[in-house]
Amino acid sequence: MVTWTRDTAWRQGSLIERTDLQALDVPIGDEHAFALVISHDCDVANDNMALEPDIEVVLLEPLSVADRSLTHGKNPRCLHFSVVDGAGDENWFEAKAGNKYRLDKKLLAHHEPYTDYTVDTRTLDLLQRWLACRYKRHALPNSLVARGGRFLQLIQRRVKREADSIVGIWISFDPDGEVDGETPYELDVYFVYSVDDPAAHDAAVAVAESVKEGAEQHAGEEGYSAIYLEQCEAVSEQAFTLWDMRHTVELKLEYLSYRGDSPGPMAP
């Protein structure tokens, strides 16, 4: 009888192919080709079935073309990422945060990981951050969303044009919370770009300049009211420090208010 041991070949980032998912009675759709193990390595390896009887996976749908606005974890509900096959070619997949399932280790012990694709360390780190942000992302104040909604949509539109070069958007706003109708928000916006792409700097600078011009052009209009844009800059991922991250909020391409009863604009 096959049992689960700490020497298992399964790890975080292991792939489970479609035929194995069907054998495990996972309710997959026609679009799903794989599942990806997202449980931590320590939880995967743990052979104490009373403590860790299952592992968690997320279903993957193959893509012919990636939506660059869904790369780098910019949207907490959907992620487009690539893995490398044996020939060294990129293969793109879509993962949706809602498509997660738990598999019984006792059943999975009868199967082996799919090894024709490789999920490298960098991609695994991206997946970890994407999964975590669903629970720890910051919600914007109702009053900021209500009064600056068009400005936030402007950022979204501009970023989508250069989405592959921009790792993320971080903002700070003062006051930090709800305000009355007369109090303006002062905003700092930082477009953090990848150092791996030689063209990323110029692209991020163009986005920052475009957002700045749009804010100046529409200043005082509905959806831009009581918004004062103090800083709007492109910053490399090397220059954007941990201190910066602690004093700003990562702006996802969808966002909700604090209370959740008055949602802001949502990414399609």
For strand 117-118 and strand 90-104, is the pairing parallel, antiparallel, or unpaired? Answer: unpaired
As given in the structure block, the two tokens for residue 263 are 């949602």
- Per the listing, tokens 């020939």 go with 87
d(CA 61, CA 33): 6
Residue boundaries of the structural domains of the chain: 15-136, 142-250
Peptide bond into 198 cis (omega under 30): no
- Per the listing, tokens 């150092």 go with 195
Q: Give the CATH architecture of domain 142-250.
A: 2-Layer Sandwich (3.30)
pTM for this entry: 0.66
Across the 268 residues of the chain, what is the mean pLDDT of every consecutive 10-residue run? 88 94 93 94 92 95 88 85 89 93 94 92 88 74 83 84 78 86 86 88 92 89 82 93 87 49 34
How is 198-258 classified by DSSP, letter by letter? TTHHHHHHHHHHHHHHHHHHTTTSTTTTTEEEEEEEEEETTTS-HHHHHTSEE--SS--BS
At 25 the pLDDT is 93
d(CA 60, CA 104): 19
As given in the structure block, the two tokens for residue 157 are 């539109």
At 137 the pLDDT is 64
d(CA 121, CA 1): 33
Which residues touch 221 (CB under 8 Å, ≥6 apart)? 150
Torsion angles phi and psi, residue 235, rounded to 5: -135, 135
Going across the sheet that includes 166-174, the strands are 227-236, 185-193, 166-174, 249-250
At 202 the pLDDT is 92
At 68 the pLDDT is 78
- Per the listing, tokens 């949509």 go with 153
At 107 the pLDDT is 94
Cα angle 117, 91, 113 (rounded to 5 degrees) comes to: 20
